[in-house]
Structure 1
Amino acid sequence: MTSPANEPTPPEGVPDQLATDLPQLTPDELRNTIIYAQELLQFHDETASPIEPGPNEDIIRATERDGYTEVVKRTTCIEGCDDCPHGPYLYHVKEESRPEGGTKVRWMFLGEVYPDEE
């Protein structure tokens, strides 16, 4: 182990408790901590939702499923109408790879959600 004088300084933004605890870990514990931190980073990147409500839309619920996100939303007409708001409607939303590169969010309309299904 290194001496306290040679110990690295934690970068700005590392929580104080974490900066205190990490130097106490063994090399094996540090390696496992790095693996866990990398998995957490991937988890956060994978669950970043591409789902944004459009104009006059309210997302009631968004539930992550295996391979897609289940979204229930309502819409309101821009000029208004006697039947507003419309829905709620159920969609499956997937982020798909494009042949030319990048991704596109695809909304698949499944139908109306009735009150006992919400």
Structure 2
Amino acid sequence: MKRTDQDQNAQAVTDGGKPVAPAIIPEYVREGVERQDTTILRQIATWCEQLADYRDERPIEVDDDEELVEVNEDGGDGGDDRSGGTQVIKKIPCGKDCNGCPHGPYEYRVKRQGKNLKWEYIGRVDS
């Protein structure tokens, strides 16, 4: 399981010892979680880990008219444009009545943002 800056921030504690919720967590979520007893908190924590793992492991999907050529998990730290996320090489249709479709291949960097995927175009791949 990958540890991110957000994970590390989630483990910060105040001088009183009570964990501090990261600022990214909405107030309505934090308040609801804080009202739960210890048993429920542990079940929420387990469920959250399972949900995060599930989202991380979901395969990259492309549209029916696209052709997936290659998928490479990078595992980088996101320090530059070509690290972090998943490298996807795919061919895509041009949207016109074209005898050469699909075109490409093209490289994309795909990163998960919550439930959604963010596709960043990197460029054409020389075949």
TM-score between the two structures when normalised by the length of structure 1: 0.49
Rg: which structure is higher? 1
Q: Which has the higher strand share?
A: 1
**TM-score when normalising by structure 2:** 0.46
